[in-house]
Chain A
Amino acid sequence: MSLSDTATPLPRDRKAARDLLQKQAKSVLVHGVILFLVALMLLPLFYMLMMSFKTGTEIAQDPLGLPNSLYWGNYMNALASMGYVRSVANSLGITISVIIVVVLVGAMAAYPLARIPNRASRVIVMIMALGLATPNFVTITPIYVIFRDLGLLDSYLGIVLAFAALKLPLAVFFYTGFIAAIPMELEEAARLDNCTNWQVFWHVIRPMLAPVTATLSLFVMLMVWNDFTYPLLLLTDKDKFTVMIAVYRFVGATGIDPTMLFPAAVLGSLPLLILFAVFQRQIVSGATAGAVK
């Protein structure tokens, strides 16, 4: 900090005052332009919300206008016929089951991989990377055939396993990195007390994994809530639909009727958007951390 710093609040002469003013005007302008562009990007979401409150006549007469009043009838109709509550319950149940499987199986596998840095561990990590890199369209035909032969089509167990497999490699990577950073001393103390491997894992390692588990749970929730391909192929029973497949079938059946489409779209995205509003920092940095690794 020197006296000649241009950000001095009390400029000495008129030229400096003019420069400062110019600089501030430019800054306001740049902020304005960027905020305008961001608003433009959000316009389709605003459009969705606005349309969901308009009656059919309003949409036909003034397709872009604001709704005259908040008309809840569209929501009532959509709620009555899309099986929303049931599909939310399904999505939640599937999410929780997938989290349990992914967290347990992933953390267990990561423990030896983080603690024994040898060739065998590297090979296993490579196999996991293969899972991460395989596009699911390459495995979708055989998975369908396997599920059909095992009677797993249209079952909660089947969809939970399929989803869990998709996120397992990521879980192993996350946990391996995290466990490797946990000091060995804690474990050694437990081993001196004659704890078995399992006891060490369960009582010493597992309780420390909460931060990774939280990030992972958000990812699983996002996937189960939003994924379209797996439930489309693996579920045909209306009672087992996840939210998005319920939205898809419902809107498809109404022939893209806007008074059905938009409330269904809002209902379908709302829970995750609320989640995002609360955890946006964790979700964005979690996603980019996952990407950068």
Chain B
Amino acid sequence: MRSRKSLYLFTIPALLVIAVFFVYPIGLTLQMSFTNYSGIGVAETVGWKNYDRIFSRSRYLDEIKITLWFTVIVVTALTVTGLFFAAMLHRLPLIRNFARAALYTPAMMSFVVVGYIWQFIYSPLNGGLNVALRQIGLGALEQNWLGDPAIALYAVAATQIWMFSGFTCAIFLAGFAGIPEEINEAGRLEGASSWQRFRYLELPLLGPSFTVSIILTTIGTLKTFELPYILTKGGPDGATRTLSIEIIDNLFGQYKFGFASALSIIMLIVVLAVAFVQNKVLRDRENVT
């Protein structure tokens, strides 16, 4: 079977691409993270100095906390809204396809466009949100949505949730579609209400959908960069400064390639750790129920 072995020649271009764009860069990031490389000249090895800096300054620890908290809010809300819409639409076949597509539309748009639209919606004077609140007599709730450090992170999170609810809804709808009709039929014959069927029959069978939805949205949200970059540039007062914004800032604002690399490694560790724990917990849960 000589010809069979030689088939592996076909994988060479792909392996080359992976080597050049993933394997080598990860190695290079690791190596640069122990230097003070500034993009030009020779990189001096500085040992653990970059990492020391990250873990000894509240600024960077705060950014890690902000990134994680932002992820918790967004992932929780996306799971709840996606599940809610999917559970309802599963029961409403008449409008299911239309509503699924409509909800998915924001996910088809670019972060740039979504960021700019919402920046205007949130703007303090003529912004759509404040004007709308005023017009329905809730003027007291007006806020400087993106300018108030106590609110800005939630405003950015709301935008991200708006954008991807349709995505989690589609994942859960696929999960609902995979539930055998007989199970619900049996529930209906037993006189179970719609809520009871959801709670005791469907929910336990949606384990895999939860796993996929939560892991994907978590990985996507942990590296959040575009929305806070466009909406707030990380401000006000660092309230929306995620790890990714810090990386890009160090890279292109200050040319601290070595330090940016160390931040990237921290990010990789955070993403891998979270993904690993989630995967384990969620899969175990799937097996129990």
Q: Which residues of A contact B (CB under 8 A)?
A: 30-31, 34-35, 37-38, 41-42, 44-45, 47-48, 51, 59-60, 63-64, 104-106, 108-109, 111-113, 115-116, 120, 124, 127-128, 130-131, 133-146, 161-162, 164-166, 168-169, 172, 191, 196-197, 201, 222, 225-229, 233, 244-245, 247-248, 251, 256, 258, 261-262, 264-265, 268-269, 272-273, 276, 280-281, 283-285, 287-289, 291-292
Contacts and interface: CB of A to CB of B under 8 A. Distances in A.
Interface in B83-121: 85, 88-89, 91-92, 94-95, 97, 99-106, 108-113, 116-121
B199 interface: no
12 contacts: A30-B92, A31-B92, A45-B105, A116-B8, A165-B17, A225-B110, A229-B226, A244-B112, A261-B117, A265-B113, A268-B110, A273-B105
B151 interface: no
A226 B109 contact: yes
B22 A142 contact: no
Contact of B102 (A38, A137, A139): A38
Contacts, number: 262
A42 B264 contact: no
Contact of A63 (B22, B117, B128, B173): B128
Nearest to A196: B3
Given A124-B11, A247-B116, 14 more contacts: A42-B102, A59-B126, A109-B13, A112-B8, A115-B4, A134-B268, A165-B17, A197-B6, A228-B226, A233-B248, A268-B112, A269-B110, A280-B104, A283-B104
Interface stretch (B51-59, B68-76, B164-172, B281-289): B164-172
Nearest to A272: B108
A112 B7 contact: yes
A59 B127 CA distance: 10
A141 B110 contact: no
B121 A44 contact: yes
Contact of A138 (B14, B26, B101): B26
B223 interface: yes
Contacts of B257: 141, 145
B18 A60 contact: no
A141 B128 contact: no
Given A140-B247, A141-B251, A47 B128 contact: yes
Contacts of B203: none
B247 A251 contact: no
B106 A45 contact: yes
A142 B10 contact: no
B116 A265 contact: yes
Interface string B224-248: 0110001000000000000110011
B121 A47 contact: yes
Contacts of A166: 21
B225 A164 contact: no
Interface in B10-61: 10-11, 13-15, 17-18, 20-26, 28-29, 32, 39
Contact of B11 (A59, A112, A138, A161): A112
